[in-house]
């Protein structure tokens, strides 16, 4: 119950801050990761210390490539890693998959609200077919494709911790 409350509360706080400020603060992610490790050391919850560290590392590894390619902010990467410290490797992998689905759904809603739905679908098809050449088109700052990703990560982690 405590882990569930921490995931839901941490996700809600990260979502509000990211939507308002377009960043996820280190103070939040580092505190969440630290609490996850401390709870594991105290034997509270279902995650051992090793699993907590593995979840943190896996959360980092899953989103770091997106950050390196410029498609995601570092705060989002650290947020998934912090959830990993609370959920362990199996939980964070489930959260990652759910976050990807939630992120795709949010991206479609954002594209529709910006009047760019068809263009987004066309550029996604380009990304699938010609990959590298399409990244420059999609990530062009003038394309107005960016949106806060912490809500998708928070939703994915919440769904995972609730077993959905």
Structure confidence by residue, pLDDT tens digits, 72-116: 899 999 999 999 999 999 999 999 999 999 998 998 888 888 888
Contact by Cβ (8 Å): 33, 10:
no
135 falls in which pLDDT band (50, 70, 90)?
low
Residue 90's CB: how many other CB atoms inside 10 A? 14
Instruction: Give the residue extent of every domain in the chain.
Output: 2-105+149-161
Structure confidence at residue 121 as a pLDDT band (50, 70, 90): confident
Rounded to whole angstroms, the Cα distance separating 38 from 2 reads 13
Percent of the chain with pLDDT over 70: 88
Return the DSSP state at 73.
-
Entry pTM? 0.86
End-to-end CA distance of the chain: 15
| pLDDT score at 120 | 74
Task: Determine the Cα–Cα distance for residues 146 and 71; give it in Å rounded to an integer.
Answer: 9
* DSSP code for 72: S
pLDDT at 152: 96
Distance from C-alpha of 22 to C-alpha of 13, rounded to nearest angstrom: 13
Cα radius of gyration (the chain) = 16
Mean pLDDT to the nearest integer, 17-40: 97
Residue 28 has pLDDT above 80, yes or no: yes
Give the residue-averaged pLDDT of 12-35.
Answer: 97
| Token digits of residue 124 | 């996604």
Q: At 119, list the tokens.
A: 């263009």
Average pLDDT over residues 38-64: 96
Taking the C-alpha atoms of residue 25 and residue 130, their distance in angstroms, rounded to an integer, is 35
Q: How many Cα neighbours within 13 Å face the side chain of 19?
A: 12
């Amino acid at each position: 119950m405590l882990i569930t409350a921490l995931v839901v509360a941490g996700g809600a706080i990260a979502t509000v801050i990211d939507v308002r400020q377009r960043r996820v603060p280190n103070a939040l992610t580092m505190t969440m990761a630290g609490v996850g490790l401390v709870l594991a050391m105290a034997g509270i919850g279902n995650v051992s210390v090793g699993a907590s560290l593995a979840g943190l590392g896996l959360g980092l590894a899953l989103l770091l490539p997106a950050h390196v390619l410029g498609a995601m902010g570092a705060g989002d990467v650290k947020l998934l890693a912090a959830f990993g410290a609370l959920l362990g490797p199996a939980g964070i992998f489930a959260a990652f998959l759910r976050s990807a689905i939630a992120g795709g759904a949010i991206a479609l809603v954002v594209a529709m609200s910006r009047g760019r739905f068809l263009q987004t679908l066309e550029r996604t098809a380009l990304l699938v077919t010609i990959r590298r050449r399409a990244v420059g088109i999609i990530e062009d700052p003038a394309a107005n494709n960016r949106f806060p990703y912490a809500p998708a990560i928070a939703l994915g982690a919440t769904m995972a911790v609730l077993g959905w």
